[in-house]
Amino acid sequence: MTITYFLTGANRGIGFELAKHLSADSNNIVFATTRSLANATALQDLNRSNLHIIEYDVTSPLETMKKALVEPFEKYSPNGVDVIILNAGISKDAVRSILQTTEADLQEHYAVNAIGPVKVYQSLFPYWSKKVNPETAKKLILVSSGAGFVHNYYPFPTSHYGPSKAALNHISRHIAFDHTSSELDHIKNSIVVPINPGIVVTNMSEEAVKTFDFEKFSLQLITPEESASSIIKLINGLEQKDNDTFISYDGTRYSW
């Protein structure tokens, strides 16, 4: 059975590992996005016929994002997409107090981490709402963060980054709520889940990793490969009862 995936932020880190793992299965069709094809050398070097790379910036106007999808879907998956993984995100100078953060910091992080996923969802909905595989639930996965827990799961300041991920979690819950009134059974029965990918050692997390002693708080550092393989296993095992829950890469369920 062919499963079609749409993955944002695939040129490095967790996103690249997700693209690599998913496209390793020739039964899958994988659409992987990057802000710049010139910066997606590793992704292109995978050279897989079932991996389709799209230049697609989540901060672009919605109409631009919609136009970027027309040709790839018409050519490679006219029946739409089964699984959406909203992975694109940023974390810049995030280890600050609220007194230290700036309006520009907040605007940039909300634009990418919260508003961006809303626009991706809106641009993809016409394809995701198509009933591709009757025996497979539609899945919408939002890559969130422990920094987005309102009860402050991470014992250090996350200033503009944490609030933007908390907003993403709220957006996830609202999407799940919206789907309950859908006239399409496969959307009403879809699975919408934000995932905490763990504390992953990437360029994006470099500042936090250098600054804080994670072991002191029994917080484990993992690699992008470990995070991605765990996320894929989690996605494959999701059931209807998991809809509208917040889950860690290791399967732990969290309160919001």
**pLDDT digits over 2-52, tens only?**
899 999 999 999 999 999 999 999 999 999 999 999 989 999 999 999 999
> In 10 A of CB 42, how many CB atoms?
13
CB atoms under 10 Å from CB of 177, counted, come to 11
pLDDT in tens, 226-235: 999 999 999 9
In the predicted model, is pLDDT for residue 55 greater than 80? yes
**CATH for 125:** 3.40.50.720
Contacts of 217 (CB under 8 A, 6+ apart): 155
What token pair was written down for 150? 């309102």
What is the token pair recorded at 155? 């014992």
Q: Give the span between the Cα atoms of 111 and 99, in whole angstroms.
A: 20
**Catalytic annotation on 127?**
no
Q: Which two tokens stand for residue 193?
A: 């889940």
Range of the domain at 202: 3-254
Specify whether the CB–CB gap between 144 and 165 falls below 8 A: yes
What value, to the nearest 5°, has the Cα angle with vertex 40 and ends 44 and 69?
Answer: 85
Cα 56 vs. chain centroid, distance in angstroms?
Answer: 14
Q: How far apart are CA 149 and CA 256, in angstroms?
A: 6
From the candidates 5, 138, 165, 249, give the one annotated as an active-site residue: 165
> In this structure, what DSSP letter does residue 112 have?
I
Reply yes or no on whether 161 is catalytic. Answer: yes
From the list 5, 56, 161, 249, the catalytic residue is 161
What is the tens place of the pLDDT at every residue in 83-112?
999 999 999 887 788 899 999 999 999 999
Number of domains in the chain: 1
Q: Which of 41-55, 125-139, 213-227 has the lowest mean pLDDT?
A: 213-227
